[in-house]
Each structure stands twice: as C-alpha cells, then as structure tokens.
Structure 1
Amino acid sequence: MIHTIKEINERNDILPNHTLGYQIFDTCYTITKAMESALVFLTGQEEFQPNFRNSTGSILAAMVGAGGSSLSVAASRILGLYYMPQVGYTSSCSILSDKFQFPSYLRVIPSDKIQSEAMVNLIKHFGWVWVGAIAADDDYGKYGVKTFKEKMETANLCVAFSETIPKIYSNEKMQKAVDAVKTSTARVIVLFTSDIDLSPFVLEMVHHNITDRTWIASEAWITSALIAKPEYFPYFGGTIGFAIPRTIIPGLKEFLYDIHPSKDPNDVLTIEFWQTAFNCTWPNSSVPYNVDHRVNMTGKEDRLYDMSDQLCTGEEKLEDLKNTYLDVSQLRTTNNVKQAVYAIAYALDGLSRCQEGHGPYDPNNTCAYIPTFEFWQLMYYMKGIKFKTHDGKWIVLDENGDVLHGHYDILNWQLDDNGEISFVTVGKFNFRATKFELFIPNNSSIFWNTESSRVSCIDILSYVTLYTFKDTNEM
C-alpha cells in the first residue's frame, strides 16, 4: 500500500498538486480491534467521536481494508453510518454486496457468489456428485458455504455434509468436523475458510492420518505458506482451488529491499518489523514487538519474549530472512491492495477535475473540491469507477460495488524438484456479469491425491462446461 501511494504521488497524470497520505491500523485479525480502529480512524484521536480528520490533521478520504470478511463487515457497519468509502481487497463475503446494510463498501475482489459458482462448475467438470463442505465459523465461511450449497442444489448435485471449524478452539466442535470427514463416503471436500482458521483443522487431519481426499480450496488459503508445507502434502497434496490472479508489480521488490528503520526514526511500522524479523531491539526505540506475528516472521515455532536484550546494529540483511517478505512470485492479494488504493485515487482525481456548472450535484450541477468534499460526494465517483491497471487489465465496479468481470486462476498443489509445494496453474474461471466459463485444457497436468478423483478425471476428460462465454475485448 505504501509503495502504491508513493507511486501515485510521483505521477503527474493522477491527482496533480495533491499528495496522498496514510495511517495504518492493525486489526490483529479480531473484530473488536477492527471496530476500534474504525472509530479511531474517524476521530483521528483516542476519542470515539467523529471529526473526519486523522491525527496529522489531514482530511480523510477513504479506507482500504479490512483484511478479512468479518472484519470488513464490522468496520463497514460503523463507516457506513457516515457514508465513508471503504474499499476491500480480500473480503469476498457475499453479504457485503448488500447496499442497504453496507452503503459505502466497495471491493476489488470478486464476491463469493462468483467463487461458489466457480466451485460448482469445477465439480461438474470432473463429474463429482457427492461433495462435503467445511466452513470457518465466521461471516466468510458461513455465507460462503451457504451460497455454495444453494448453487449445488440448483445444479442437482448433493452436499454430503456441512460442518464448521470453530474460531475459538473447541475439541468437541473440531472432532465433529473431523468425524464428518472420516465417516463420510464423500472424497471431495470444499473448504471455505482462511488459513489461520484452517491451521488447527490441518493438524487434526495429520493426527488422524486422513488421506485419500481431494480438497477444493477457497481463495483465502489456496496459496497460503502457513498451510502449503511439504509435511502436509501427504494429506493435502493435489488440492485444487481458486486464486486471485497473479501479477508482477514493477519496483516493489526494490522498494522492499530499500526499507530500513534508520531512514525515519518516527517510522514505527518499519522499526516494529525490523525488531520482529531480526529478534533485536532498535536503539533508543520504545516500539514493542508484535509478538502475535513473531512465529511467521522468524519461521520458528517457539514463542519469543516481548523485548530482546540484543540491540539491532542496522547491519542486519533483509536477504537473510527465511520468510515470504521478499517473495514477489505470488503477488495476488498484494495486487488487490494496489488496485484498492488506485480506485480511491482515481475517484479523487475525477472529483478534482470537476468543472463548475458541469458537476454531478444538485442544484445547478455543482462540484465538490479537495479538501472540503464530503464522503457522499466522493462516493459518487467511487460507484462509477473504471480504470486500467498497470498490467493492462480493467477494474470495473457494478452498482453494488462488486467487480463486474475478471477471472480466477485454478491452482493445483504439486511437489517441485526441491520437495516444496508448488502452485501449478491448471486452468482459469472467467466471469462477466452472469456469464461464466471454466477452462481446463485437456493436457493440464493435474496431481490427484485420491484414486477416486484420478478415475473421475479420466472418465470426463472431454467434458465441456455449459453456459460459457467468449469475449476477446477486455473493455
């Protein structure tokens, strides 16, 4: 996000004579923190009374996030009261399309109605008729599986069982989900959950040695480094599912390598990152560790202390980190963040170019101006947003703030020559309004973890998906 804001500020064709700024709040992946952050964001202080200025005194324009459907739902119920534009990059829950409940929410990720349609098309393609479903116990999982089951019923396909994974660990509830998998004759199972919520369930599958299953993954975990570990491959190898399209973001890797806490002593985010990554304390800094993310940052399983008696020298090297920080090979959600920021920038740019007497507001076709505009005035431009991305694709939002057209990559988990899990693209699911096309070439090399799935693939190799569309004109 910071890289994108810097990029926009350096351009002359978008928002000339205006500079974008930012404030970042950590929701800690909890609903309460998401709501607290929304209130603080509106007030700009620790007082929960709206004044629409942040702590720097700058005028608020919009919010990017949050990083999960339940978090976005919670934040949007507050932000929507003031009609403040909120652009999601990973929250795909279908309920967020309801403009009565979420009037100012928009997103650059497809709704789960599209993903559920994609899953059912995939199931039809491979001739599976008896499928299980497991969801996280939150808005993302519940609404996702609800929509999936409705579309399965419409397609005259059967859902063998439907269970939930508890967000707060409960052995009784977890074992109920495990028993459903163990006892059901269904060998194909849809998992509608985030990687964080899925992790305890994965450990249960390993503990009970449950193999011979084909897992259909939602976009929230199909490329997760937390789940895609070689030791889990005997249980989850051959997973097939849908992913946000991957792209290359010019300049991002160089930007990541250039980060250093010595460049700005007030850059709390970078200092916290540096301390957490290298297990040291930055001199003369009172910034605490983010211990919740320490395991992911260091790759170690043990919990570390809040502070370290080892001082950072500044000579630590980012390239020595054994984590995903510098991995720019799977820029999927990252690209969505970029497009969410650009959506706001293009809307502000449209507002700034309004000519008095030719504006969209009554009476007298008036205009709004930076910095005195109101949220509802910016929302006028947000709703009609349409722009071309850096990689030549178009972002177009419909009246519900949803992406009008696009595609998912269809990925398959396979082992590479180094024994690591590789996300192999085996097909694509295109969508445009209510038209859909599943495309899996006959020569796709798909790894299956079950004998039953392997047979199904051979039997329907020449199956042609119904209700397809072809359109070579992007926009």
Structure 2
Amino acid sequence: MLSGVRLGYKIYDNCGTMDILRAALSLVSGLKDEIVDDGCIDTESVHAILGHSGSTPTIALLHIVGRFQIPVISHFATCACLSNRREYPTFFRTVPSDYYQSKALAKLVRHFGWTWVGAVAVDNEYGLNGIVAFIQAAEEYGVCIEYSEAFSSSDPMHVIQRIIETIKQSTSKVIIAFMSHREIKILASELYKQNITGLQWIGSDAWITDASLTDSKGHTILLGSLGFTVAKANIPGLDEYLRQLHPSQFPNSQFVKDFWEEVFDCSLNETVNTQRQPCNGFESLQTIQSEFTDVSELRFTKNVYKSVFAVAHALDIMIKCNDNKEVFSNRSCFDPINIQPWQILQNLNSVNFTTVDGEKVYFDSNGDSPARYELVNLQMTTTGIMKGETVGVYDASFPEGQQLIVNSISVAWANGLFEVPVSVCSKKCLPGTYKVLQKGKPICCHDCMPCPAGEITILTESLQCLKCPPEYWSNNDRDACIPKPAAPLNGPASCDTQHSA
C-alpha cells in the first residue's frame, strides 16, 4: 500500500485548551513554510485533519474547515449530532456515535431491572445530546427518569451543591453520568464529603476507564460503576517503537526532556544547576516499566491509528486507480501528484479494510464507524488501585435480542453488594392487586390496590381486575376464582312426597 509514498503531518496541541480558530486557520491557509522535509511536496493545505478529541471543539472546527472540503476524522468526538450529514458533510469518526452508546446504556439499565434512575450530564453538546438520546431510548424500554441535571466543571459551587441535594433527596439508586473525567471527579468528591453512598453509577465512555480516577480517595465512591467503552486493542510495533525513543531524536521536545529526566533521575542540561547527575547518553527504555511504555490498555489510541490508516487507504484507492485504469474503468481517476482534499473526502466513503488484529474499518453514509463496545466494571485490584475490568460486550450489528452480553457473575456492585441493587419507583403489584398510577408522577410510579370482592388478578403488574364467572367467587387473596357455596334446602316439601286425603 502507498508504495513510494510517505505521509507528512503537523501536530497542533496546546495542552487541552481550545484554541480551535488558530489551528483551523493554520491548517487551511497553507503549510508551505512549515514543511521542511525535502521529500514532501509543497501543498496549499492539508489533505485531512485528524481530531479533535472532544465533540464541542470538533463542531467549532468543522464550521471553519468544512467549506474547504477538508475531511475531518475524529477518534473521540462521539456526539450523535455529528452524524447530521447535511450540517457536517466532511466529518468522519473511528469511534461509535453516542446514539449507539445511549441505546446500549438503556439496554444495560433494563437488563438489570432498574426502572427508576437519575441522570447527570456535562453541560455541553456531548453531555446534553447523550443524555437526551439515553432518555429517549430508556423510555422505549419502560425505564423512568427521576431527575435530569447538567453542569460543567467551571460552574460555581452552588450549582454543584444544588445537584448534590437533588441526588440526596432522590429515591432512585442508579445514576447515569454522561460526562468527562473532570465533572465526575467533582461530583464524586462532593458526594464523598457528604457521605452520600450506596449509589450504582453507570458511566459514559469519556470517564469510565480514565486513569486519573485513581488519584483520590474520594473517587472510591465510584467503585462498582458500569459503563461502555471501545475495546482494548493492540497496535503492532508500538511497544518496540516507544522503547527505542531517545531525547536526541526530539531535541526541542520539553515533554521528552522532562519525562527522561524523571524516569532516569538525571539531567539532560549540564549548564542548569540541579541535584541530578548528568545523563550519560546510554539510558534506555528497553527495561523500563512506566505509563508511557505500557501499551496493554490502549483503547482510544487505536482509533487514532485507524484514522491514519483510513486516510492512507483513501490515498491508495486513488493511486491504484491510476495504476489500474482498466479495473477502475467505471470511475474517474485523479492526478496523484496534485491531490486535493475533496478527493480524499470522496474516497473515504469507499474505505473498507481490516486491521492486522481483525477489526473491520469502514464508514456508513453518516461517516460513522461500526458500534462495538466492551462493558467495563470498576473494581479494586489487589494492589489497591481501581481498574476497569471487562464484564460484557455490546455489538449493534447483532440481532436486537443478542446485542448485549453480560457476565453478571464477575460484576462488583456498588457499596460492596454481592447482589444486583434494586432501583424502582414502586414494587411490582402481585397477583390479587392491580396498578393505579400515582397522580403527577411517571408511569413507573404506582400504587397496588387489592381487587374488589368477586374480582381477581393472576398476573403481576396487572392494570385491571377480572370478574369471576357468575357461579364463582374470588378467594380471600383475590388471585383465584372458587365455586360459590350451595344454597341450604329449608323450603316446603316437594309435591311428589305429599299424600291425598
């Protein structure tokens, strides 16, 4: 693939800040002054943009670069709103849309019989769209929402306290949290301070496997949480590549410098007065175990890998078109020396390949990828660290009744429970009673009224009682019809026993 062709790149990163306008304008205004490798062809603009990781900044980016027909491929922007092809015709993603995650979460809640839940979201496109999609899907499965709240990490504390009070006063024991690691840490810490425990958390993919949740005692309140995230993946050659890295390859990288000095406890700059000994230049990562060299927990990183390969395959389609015009006779080919972004955009729709570990990669008509998740459960390891363990899968390509598979035996529940927690507004109405909805409350909230005399119910959750046949009567439990007792014979003797005078 791409024989004799190399892909060039320019990385824009500002430590999580959202200077999207500057980056977008740089990308579309031309890179002639920024590409110094003589092997690269000068170009007026990039052919594709990989990123952003968040839905809100991705939307801002698309509004700027969309008119230039530059394809944007995100590895982590999951908002279902981005599937709107009319509004975002140049957008693709290698992570499933929240439309599927919301349906998966609703099915998960129903699977465990939780019909009465609360919902909290981050106050942006990701959280609000995600929680709305969840509520819509949940209603289809007979799940009711006791409350729905939203906040952002920058909100004043009185907003957080109002939500804490809502949770405190609620009767539901399950909370759907559609937010990032920033918001869930704020919420968990405040709940921990006020000793509000015993809640079963259901998390979205933006926080359920975030490693930073292990850095505070207050976050242990999240133990037992369940949530969906993309599957673990193996990127061939990455481990070997990382272990061969050396600061001499990146003389201008502050990150590499700081990382190297921290790991080997030495100084790369001899002129700086430091307590560390100078690095000798023979340090190696080959035997070092660190978060940087650990490739066992890669999830969203694999989506970046797939994004790069998607662009490469789109380019490959164009090059092979020119090399095999007889095979591609039914389509027009492009000049591979003068490739335009809109041509990459067009060919991304035809991309369909399988990674070396067997994962299929393609985009549907909305630019979305296949939806497959692992169900993760936050459990405490023997080393005292909270870690996500896979306890099930969800695959949207399977038939309706087979999409969710849960290994309930291996699930660790909230608050150390050994059984599935219960979260219902009202208990089931047993045989002999019928449901009467509570005025002004959702359909999950009802009273169980006993059937009147002469009527019964034989099923749970009955909406009305059934009258017994005329010769039958209801028993005391009102769950069966029994024969009426025979009338006593106290009247006059019959005619055939009388004698004439």
Q: TM-score range by the shorter chain?
A: 0.7 to 0.9
**Which residue number in structure 2 is paired with residue 139 of structure 1?**
125
Letter in 1 for 2:248: S
Offset, 1:101:
1.7
Aligned residue for 2:311, secondary structure, equals helix
Q: Answer whether contact 2:314 2:348 (CA < 8 A) is retained.
A: yes
Task: From 347, 351, 356, give the equivalent of 1:381.
Answer: 347
Q: Deviations over 1:410-461 (max 9, x none)?
A: 011111222222322111111129957443355631111145972449x9xx
Instruction: Check if 1:219 corresponds to 2:205.
Output: yes
Q: Aligned with 1:203: secondary structure?
A: helix
For residues 421 and 360 of structure 2, the distance between their equivalents in structure 1, rounded to whole angstroms, comes to: 39
Q: How does 1:27-106 map to 2 (within 5 A)?
A: 27-31=14-18, 33-44=19-30, 55-56=35-36, 58-59=42-43, 60-106=46-92
Q: Could you tell me whether the CA contact under 8 Å between 2:231 and 2:373 is conserved in 1?
A: yes
CA separation of 1:41 and 1:283: change in aligned 2, threshold 3 A: farther
- Asked if the contact 1:229–1:420 (Cα under 8 Å) also holds between the matched residues in 2, the reply is no
Q: 1:35: how far off?
A: 2.6
- CA change 1:271–1:74 in 2 (3 A) is farther
Identify if the C-alpha distance between structure 1 residues 338 and 284 changes in structure 2 by more than 3 Å, giving closer, same or farther. Answer: farther
Q: Which of 198-207 and 411-420 deviates more?
A: 198-207
Provide the residue aligned with 2:299 in structure 1: 332
Q: Counterparts of 1:219-238 in structure 2 under 5 Å?
A: 219-229=205-215, 231-232=217-218, 234-238=220-224
1:78 CA drift (Å)? 1.3
8 A Cα contact 2:220 2:386, kept in partner: no
Q: Is 2:374 the partner of 1:401?
A: no
* 1:423 aligns to 2:410 (yes or no): no
1:233 deviates by 5.6
Task: Give the 5 Å matches for 1:194-343.
Answer: 194-229=180-215, 231-232=217-218, 234-265=220-251, 270-271=256-257, 274=260, 282-283=268-269, 313=279, 314=281, 324-343=291-310
The amino acid across from 2:364 in the alignment is: D
Structure 1 Cα separation of the partners of residues 259 and 165 of structure 2:
41
Q: Which letter maps to 2:184? A: L
5 Å-filtered alignment, 1:455-474, equals 455-456=421-422
How far, CA to CA, are the matches of 2:10 and 2:266 in structure 1? 25
Aligned equivalents of 1:358 and 1:113: distance in 2?
A: 41
Q: What secondary structure, in the 3-state scheme, does the structure 1 residue paired with 2:321 have? A: coil
Do the aligned residues in 1 keep the contact of 2:223 with 2:413 (CA within 8 Å)? yes
TM-score normalized by the length of structure 1? 0.78
Query: Is the Cα–Cα contact under 8 Å of residues 243 and 284 in structure 2 kept in the other structure?
Result: no
Q: Are 1:359 and 1:365, in contact at CA under 8 Å, matched by a contact in 2? A: no
Q: Which residue of 2 aligns with 1:181?
A: 167
Q: 2-side partners of 1:308 and 1:359: how far apart?
A: 66
Sequence identity, in percent? 31
| SS in structure 2 at match of 1:387 | strand
Q: Do the aligned residues in 2 keep the contact of 1:122 with 1:438 (CA within 8 Å)?
A: no
1:345 is aligned to 312
Once the two structures are TM-superposed, the CA of residue 152 in structure 1 deviates from its matched residue by: 1.7
Are residues 1:25 and 2:12 paired? yes
Q: Is the 8 A contact 1:42 1:54 kept in 2?
A: no
315 and 186 in structure 1: CA distance in 2 versus 1, 3 angstrom threshold = farther
**Higher mean C-alpha deviation, range 420-429 or range 195-204:** 195-204
> Hey, what's the Cα distance between the residues in 1 that align with 2:273 and 2:94?
40
Q: Which residue of 2 aligns with 1:122?
A: 108
Deviation at residue 265 of structure 1 after TM alignment: 3.0
Contact 2:118 2:148 in 1 (8 A): yes
Describe the shift of the 1:169–1:230 C-alpha distance in structure 2 as closer, same or farther (beyond 3 A): closer
What SS is found at the alignment partner of 2:120? strand
Q: Counterpart of 1:336 in structure 2: which amino acid? A: N
Q: Which amino acid aligns with 1:213?
A: L
- The CA deviation string for residues 232-279 of structure 1, in whole angstroms up to 9 with x for no partner, is 464111001101100222221221122211124356764465478789
Secondary structure at 1:248 match in 2: coil
- Report the RMSD for the aligned CA atoms in angstroms: 3.2
The CA deviation string for residues 156-214 of structure 1, in whole angstroms up to 9 with x for no partner, is: 32111111132314112211222222111111001111113332222212222221011
Matched, 1:447 2:397: no
SS in 2 for 1:199: helix
More helix by share: 1
Instruction: Give the number of the structure whose alpha-carbon radius of gyration is greater.
Output: 2
Unaligned runs of 5+ in 2: 428-501
Gaps of 5+ in 1: 1-13, 46-50, 286-306, 460-475
Residues 378-436 of structure 1: CA deviation (Å, up to 9, x unaligned): 11110121110121121121011001x34100011111222222322111111129957
Helix, strand or coil at the partner of 1:337: helix
**Alpha carbons of structure 1 residues 249 and 146: separation in structure 2 relative to 1, 3 Å:** same
CA distance in structure 1 between the aligned counterparts of 2:48 and 2:86, rounded to whole angstroms: 19
Distance in 1 separating the partners of 2:331 and 2:311? 23
Q: How many residue pairs end up in the alignment?
A: 415
Whether 1:165 aligns to 2:151 is yes
Contact map agreement 1:123 1:129 (CA 8 A) in 2: yes
Tell me if the contact between 1:65 and 1:88 (Cα under 8 Å) persists in the aligned partners. Answer: yes
Partner Cα separation in structure 2 for residue 150 and residue 114 of structure 1: 12
Superposition TM-score, scaled by structure 2 size: 0.75
Q: Which range moves more in the overlay, 373-382 or 432-441?
A: 432-441
Q: Secondary structure at the match of 1:353?
A: helix
